[in-house]
Amino acid sequence: MHKLDENQWVSDVWPDLGTAFSLKISAKLHEEQSPFQRIAVYETSHFGRLMTIDGIIMLTDRDNFHYHEMLAHPALYNHPAPRNVVIIGGGDCGTLKEVLKHDEVESVIQIDIDERVTRVAEEYFPALCESNGDPRATLAFIDGIRWMAEAPAESVDLIIVDSTDPVGPAEGLFNVDFYRNCRRVLRSGGILVQQSEAPFLQLPWLLDIRAAMAEAGFMSRKTLSFPQPVYPSGFYSATLAGKDHDLGFFREADARAKPFVTEYYNAGIHRASAVLPEFLKRALD
């Protein structure tokens, strides 16, 4: 463990956006260069442990529940009967943990190209990985783009793309060809959900995601917003795409009676997250 000066900060700097977000740290717990990216873990003064990838903040102990819950539960409750789920990315296993809270889910395949992210998470973020041994879960450390291209048609109910930003290893998870393969693999009534960046600062990325989903043939799209304190601007989004149906429906009674504990998500949040601010509604029209 490499001790750092008590006044040192880890900063997630976005020069093109003119912004930065910093967390005060007391120690560097781990750092390594995997075959794909640089992974580091720090102890912070107020947010628990922090993971960065290539210098960009990925998650902290304190606030990761916003992102993981909103990537998983709205889509699961929008689907009438989700049985088979695929997670592309998600190496920290937080989204996997949330998906497995749903008893109706029969199988989840998590596909992340970089095994080291998961192994580091298992060591330093064990609470996120506590469901990794669930018999319904399969961890596959392979190329998610290739897996999706080769997967059988109409074999999955829900695809969650829990990726890093659309650069480097994740760049291919944000284009029309990938989304076309996702649509092919989904059953009728299936849903794709993609983390879709920070709308206030990264609106062009969100618009590109929605346009690519439409070009790939998805019938409907719905962007949900939620707070994520350690991500750019603290205002984040996930976008759902319905293969061949409208996304207005969700199992609200089931969400209200959810038999598991969450920190952020509930039925009211589900409904409210689809109510977008005026600047974003205009941009998405």
Cα(173)–Cα(164) distance, integer angstroms: 9
User: What would the two tokens of residue 43 be?
Assistant: 């102890």
Cα(273)–Cα(185) distance, integer angstroms: 27
With b meaning 16 or more CB within 10 Å and e meaning fewer, what string describes 187-215?
Answer: bebbbbbbbbbbbbbbbebbebbbebbee
What does the CA dihedral 172, 210, 128, 4 come to, rounded to 10 degrees? 70
- The candidate with the shortest Cα–Cα distance to 213, out of 179, 260, 188, is 179
Which residues are paired to 226 by β-bridges? 236
Query: Does an H or E element contain 192, and which?
Result: strand 186-195
**Cβ-based neighbour number of residue 228 at 10 Å:** 22
> In whole angstroms, what is the distance from residue 247 CA to residue 249 CA?
5
Catalytic residue status for 54? no
Torsion, Cα 277 227 90 261, to 10 degrees, reads -120
Q: Which listed residue (134, 162, 165, 177) is catalytic?
A: 162
Specify which residues 195 forms β-bridges with. Answer: 238
Written as six digits, the tokens of 269 are 């949040």
Q: How far is 23 from 43, CA to CA, in rounded Å? A: 10
What residue type is 92 in one-letter code?
D
Q: Which residues are catalytic?
A: 162
